[in-house]
Amino acid sequence: MDSTAGSTSAAEQAAMRRALALAATPGVPMVADTRRVGCVLLDAEGRTVAEGHHRGPGTPHAEAAALARAGEAARGATAVVTLEPCHHTGRTGPCTEALVAAGVRRVVFAETDANPVAAGGRARLEAAGIEVEAGLLVDEAAALAAVYRRAQQQQRPYVTWKLAATLDGRSAAADGTSRWISGRASRRDAHRLRAACDTMLVGTGTVLEDDPRLTVRDEQDRPAPVQPLRAVMGLRDLPVGARVLDDEADTVHLRTRDPRSALAELWVRDRQRVLLEGGPTLAAAFLADGLVDEIVCYVAPVLLGAGRAAVGDLGIPTISRALRPRVTDVTVLPGLDGEQPDVRLTLDPRET
């Protein structure tokens, strides 16, 4: 669900999405008392002044990091933060006092801090005369926190399998073409999903057949300033001219066919959220091993009758043993430029 606060600007909403991406930056030590927080400072015209994120216990909080980069430019700025600024002294000082001292005019945050030790930030800011707006993209912020808690519990990256399929469950036509099964709104939404992950994973077969770029791009097809790691899994060599080997983002070749080994290597590389974009064989391998934590499926009003199935053989011999993921969200994505709408299904395969 895409939640927005009632009186926030488009610039603040964009800044919160950037703050959420900053909060997802890989490499932050995963310990129980560490919250992943991002902060973006905007000037009066809605332009980014500075940004920062929490890098682990004992390091400056996201707000302090952004304020340090902004210097005097923070005066009169709006701070957009994924979590209510803390109002306590722990390993570092309270973020509320740093914001007040810097002369910030307005604070917009997503989640209210439920920790009673750190709570009270909003009240302190308002008492100092700072305008406060809460709840912007709160569902996305809560989901981000849940993702990283799950990754820490499992000691492996959280895996989202993303696919686009026709009504009859095809991911490509008989001749291998798949552009485009889903509409522009779905593709735009999928890039938002990519931006929320720190790794995109495909198999060597997908690289050889489709030659994907595997990058996050905006509506004008421009690359995002921060790109997830591109991971390719499989034993076959990658073609010299493959687009995943260009300089738009970093790429790692995981020379294994075992999903658990691939995730273990990504975990060692401080990767905590993986978007599985590979073909039906790779998807089936992860599903069969119980390594998919979330499914995001874009269903288009298209019929092919033949072609590549969205998922490979799962070894299920009878309907009574079928996997039945729990549906957690159903969203209709309106068609753009005369296109038919698609339906985005979000499912939890761990609960049947």
DSSP string of 282-332?
A: HHHHHHHTT---EEEEEE-S---SSSEESS------SGGG---PEEEEEEE
Q: Which is it for strands 158-165 and 273-276: parallel, antiparallel or unpaired?
A: parallel
63 is catalytic: yes
Catalytic residue among 12, 63, 111, 133: 63
The token pair at 71 is 């210097």
Residues 324, 347 contacting (CB under 8 angstroms): no
SS3 call for 162: strand
Q: 188-195 contacts: CB < 8 A, separation 24 or more?
A: 188/219, 189/298, 189/333, 189/344, 190/162, 190/164, 190/298, 191/216, 191/217, 191/218, 192/17, 193/160, 193/162, 193/275, 193/296, 194/228, 194/275, 195/17, 195/21, 195/224, 195/226, 195/228
HSE of 247, CA atoms in CB hemisphere, 13 A = 0
Answer positive or negative: Cα dihedral of 238, 244, 250, 254.
negative
Residues 29, 12 contacting (CB under 8 angstroms): no
DSSP string of 211-259?
A: ------B-TTSPBPSS-PEEEEESSSPPPTT-GGGSTTS-EEEE--S-H
Q: Which is it for strands 78-83 and 38-42: parallel, antiparallel or unpaired?
A: antiparallel
Question: Is 250 exposed, middle or buried, given 0-12, 13-18 or 19+ CB atoms closer than 10 A?
Answer: exposed
- Which residues fall within 8 angstroms of residue 177, CB to CB, at 6 or more apart? none
Catalytic residue IDs: 63
